[in-house]
Chain A
Amino acid sequence: MPIIRMDNIWYAYNRGTPIQTNALSGLSLAVSRGSFVALAGHTGSGKSTVLQHLNGLLLPQKGRVLVEEADTRDKSFRRSLWAKVGLVQQYPERQFFEETVFSEVAVGPNNLGLSPAEVEDRVLEALAVVGIDRKRARETSPYALSGGEQRRVALASVLALRPGVLALDEPTAGIDFMGRQRIFKALADLKSQGVTIIMASHNMDDVARMADRVVVIKEGRALLEGSPRQVFASQGCVREAGLNLPFPSEVMARLREKGFNTEAPALTVDEAAEEIIKCVGARKTAQ
Chain B
Amino acid sequence: MLGQYLPVESAIHRLDPRAKLLSTFLLIAAVMAGGWAGMAIGGLITAAGVMAARLPLGVLWRQVRLLGLIILASVLVQILFTPGDVVLSAGPVKVTVQGLVSGVTLLIKILLVVLTGIILTSTTTSLRLASGIELLLKPLGRLGIPVHEIVMALSIAIRFIPVITEEAQHIINAQLSRGVAFYGPGLGRRAKAVISLVVPLLTGVLRRSDDLATAMEARCYRGGAGRTRMHAMVFKRADVMCLLMTGTSLVAAVLLRVTLGL
The 10 A-B residue pairs with the shortest CB-CB distance, nearest first, are A111-B179, A95-B174, A97-B199, A108-B178, A87-B177, A97-B196, A18-B6, A107-B178, A57-B173, A82-B179
Asked if residues B203 and A143 are in contact (CB atoms below 8 Å), the reply is: yes
Within 8 A of B (CB), among A88-137: 89-90, 92, 94-97, 107-108, 111-112
Asked if residues B7 and A18 are in contact (CB atoms below 8 Å), the reply is: yes
Chain B contacts for A86, CB-based, 8 A: 177
Chain B contacts for A201, CB-based, 8 A: none
Asked if residues A55 and B177 are in contact (CB atoms below 8 Å), the reply is: yes
Kindly state the interface size class of chain B when it binds its partner: 20 to 34
A210 at interface, CB cutoff 8 A: no
**Given A19-B6, A19-B7, A95-B178, 11 further pairs, Cβ under 8 A:** A18-B6, A18-B59, A82-B176, A82-B179, A87-B177, A89-B174, A92-B174, A94-B174, A95-B171, A96-B199, A97-B198
Chain B contacts for A94, CB-based, 8 A: 167, 170-171, 174, 200, 203-204
Chain B contacts for A90, CB-based, 8 A: 170
| 26 examples of A-B residue contacts, CB within 8 angstroms | A16-B58, A17-B6, A17-B59, A18-B7, A19-B6, A19-B7, A82-B176, A82-B177, A86-B177, A87-B173, A87-B174, A89-B174, A94-B170, A94-B171, A94-B203, A95-B174, A95-B200, A96-B200, A96-B203, A97-B195, A97-B196, A97-B199, A97-B200, A107-B196, A112-B179, A158-B178
Seen from chain A, the residues whose Cβ lies within 8 Å of a Cβ on chain B are 16-19, 52, 55, 57, 82-83, 86-87, 89-90, 92, 94-97, 107-108, 111-112, 143, 157-158, 161
Asked if residues B7 and A95 are in contact (CB atoms below 8 Å), the reply is: no
B108 at interface, CB cutoff 8 A: no
Complex formed: what's the CA distance from A112 to B174 in Å?
16
Complex formed: what's the CA distance from A161 to B177 in Å?
10
Would you give the 0/1 interface string for B3-15, flagging 1 where the beta carbon is closer than 8 Å to chain A?
0001110000000
Chain A contacts for B200, CB-based, 8 A: 94-97
Tell me the smallest distance from the CB of B193 to a CB of chain A, in Å: 10
Within 8 A of A (CB), among B166-202: 167, 170-171, 173-181, 195-196, 198-200
Chain A contacts for B171, CB-based, 8 A: 94-95
B56 at interface, CB cutoff 8 A: yes
Complex formed: what's the CA distance from A89 to B175 in Å?
10
| Chain A residue nearest to B179 in the complex (CB) | A111
Complex formed: what's the CA distance from A16 to B59 in Å?
9
Chain A contacts for B179, CB-based, 8 A: 82-83, 107-108, 111-112, 161
Tell me the smallest distance from the CB of B2 to a CB of chain A, in Å: 13
Asked if residues B176 and A57 are in contact (CB atoms below 8 Å), the reply is: yes
CB within 8 A of A89: which of B8, B58, B177? B177
Complex formed: what's the CA distance from A90 to B198 in Å?
19
Which of A17, A87, A97: most chain B Cβ within 10 A? A97
